[in-house]
Structure 1
Amino acid sequence: MQRACVMLESMTINVELPPAEAEVVPGVPWGAVEAFPTPAYWAYQVMARRIEARSIQYKLGKTLREEVGACLLGGHGIPASIGLLAYHHLKAKGAFEAEAPEEQTLFQWLSEPMHHEGRLVRYRFASQKARYLAAAMRKLAQEPSPEQSGRALRDWLTAIPGIGYKTASWVARNWLDADDVAILDIHILRAGVLAGFLDQELTVERNYLALEAQFLQFSQGLGVRASELDAVIWLDMMASPLTVGATLNALPESKFKAKHAPSRARSQRRDTDTHQLALLG
């Protein structure tokens, strides 16, 4: 048995975990709790947040339309702060109300310069995202969304142009606090390969559901909620670019390493903006 502790102001709480050599899922040992990024390390991080009452809030919008809008405006190629800025910019103009504006109107709004940290910025993919947003708002206005499970909502959302498994899972996790989907971004993939619970030969483009099943099995093996684990791994991996980069560089050469190891320039950046968690992608 491994023992770790969480120190609070008035007490110390002990956390017990299985031995390092025990398997959390077949073929994946728990590892040492103090060794980043072992399964035991991730289990401890989730438990420590629970004990310290440092819950992570996912939901961005007050309606599903707002949540879909926020997630569509973030994601790959969009800095989280700019995605949030664009979301609030469109929300202030009524983009996510019952009477959704036309695509051209959304494009005009997204093309407007926005104030960010003392300077004017522009949203990069205004035309593309305006098209996707218009289609999403039409579907949400015309059809009742299934909300009996995260997976049902996720699969329904993937019928919208521009919304793939990751974005749809992101919306479902945020909106329903769902534990039956996983948001498989690069940080989760790196953590999974380093800890051994994701198959590095699989890709999100071709094998999203298989990787998701591996992630959900892993969270069950740890005995923690998938939504908690996803968020904690994302925050920790984002906050430790140099450590992550060094650990990945120590791996044997592979297709995964060639494609996903961070460059030295990117590894020098340290970004712990908690707003990015809600817009993770």
Structure 2
Amino acid sequence: MQQVIAGIDGHYRFLDLPGPEAEIMPGIQWGAFEHILSPAFWVSQSWMQDDGSEIDFTLTQSLREEVITCLLGGHGAPAEVGLAASARVLDALASQGSGHLSQARLEALLLEPLTVKGRPVRYRFARQRAKYLAGALVGLDDIDEANLTDVELRDALCGLPGIGPKTASWIVRNRRASDEVAILDVHIIRACEHMTVFPAGSDPARHYLDLESRFLEFCSAGSVRASVVDAVMWHTMRSMGRKLLASLIDTPNCNGEALPLLSWGDQQCQDQAATATVAISAADPAVRAAAG
């Protein structure tokens, strides 16, 4: 057995995990919780960020606004750029006073440079996403969110232009803090391949539902909420530098043993690893919700 101790707000919490050699899933060992990217690491990091209360992942106030934000923040758009683009579109939507914007109007909004961290940035997919978004805003009129389960809502959203299972799952997770779907972006895929929860070379474009099922099985085996694991994995993997990731993921048979987070005897900490693996704060829903 291994025990994780977390000091939060002056109180201590304790988590007992099976030993490193025990299996969390058939053929997959827990590993040591202090080893970066091991199953025990992800379970313990997620446990530390989850106090059992309801988590607010929402970025906006309505399904329509969430679709805009997640579609514009999808594949190839850094989170900060996607949020800036969606803020501009939402402002225009509010000024117009209706739920629709034309493709031409959306394209004009997205072609104009955005300001991100004090500097001008161009949105790379202005024409393509404007076309998708115009169609999605019209298609949303036919979706009755209140009468759909999480998976049914995800499936309905997948019928909208430009929205695949990852973006649809992101919308559902944000709206409902759902643990029934998973946002399988490149960061989650890479972390799960490293643990061998996913096979090497996994392609979510072809096998999304199968991979999602494996991810949810992993979360269930670790007794942690899928929505929290997804957010913690995304933030942690995104925060790591390429050199650190290469040293862990691209090294054969390495599950973090080559780079321990902390040596308990003398309290020595490797600064780069510690900085990179500070888990996302449960009190920061905007960044957590932007995990897509």
TM-score category, normalised to shorter length: 0.7 to 0.9
AA matched with 2:83: L
Larger CA deviation: 193-202 vs 73-82: 193-202
- Aligned-partner SS, 1:93: helix
> Structure 1 residue 88: deviation in Å?
0.6
Give the Cα separation in 1 of the matches to 2:55 and 2:244. Answer: 23
> Structure 1 residue 276: deviation in Å?
4.9
Partner of 2:245: 244
Partner of 2:289: 278
> Structure 1 residue 50: deviation in Å?
2.4
Larger CA deviation: 235-244 vs 205-214: 235-244
Give the Cα separation in 2 of the matches to 1:118 and 1:203. Answer: 36
> Structure 1 residue 251: deviation in Å?
2.7
CA root-mean-square deviation: 2.5
Partner of 1:110: 110
Structure 2 gaps, min length 5: 254-275
Q: TM-score, normalised by structure 2?
A: 0.82
Q: In the TM superposition, what are the counterparts of 1:1-281 in structure 2 within 5 Å?
A: 1-8=1-8, 10-51=10-51, 57-94=56-93, 98-145=98-145, 148-241=148-241, 242-251=243-252, 276-281=287-292
Larger CA deviation: 86-95 vs 243-252: 243-252
> Structure 1 residue 82: deviation in Å?
1.0
AA matched with 1:278: A
AA matched with 1:144: D
* 8 Å Cα contact 1:179-1:225 kept in structure 2: yes
* 8 Å Cα contact 1:145-1:156 kept in structure 2: no
- Aligned-partner SS, 1:20: coil
CA displacement 1:33-87 (0-9 Å, x = unmatched): 1111111111111111125x99864211100000000000012211211111111
Give the Cα separation in 1 of the matches to 2:11 and 2:140. Answer: 49
Give the Cα separation in 2 of the matches to 1:20 and 1:163. Answer: 40
AA matched with 1:249: D
Identity of aligned residues (%): 38
AA matched with 2:116: H
Give the Cα separation in 2 of the matches to 1:277 and 1:147. Answer: 26
AA matched with 1:78: A
Give the Cα separation in 2 of the matches to 1:101 and 1:157. Answer: 18
Taking structure 1 as reference, are residues 94 and 9 closer, same or farther at Cα in structure 2, changes over 3 Å only?
closer
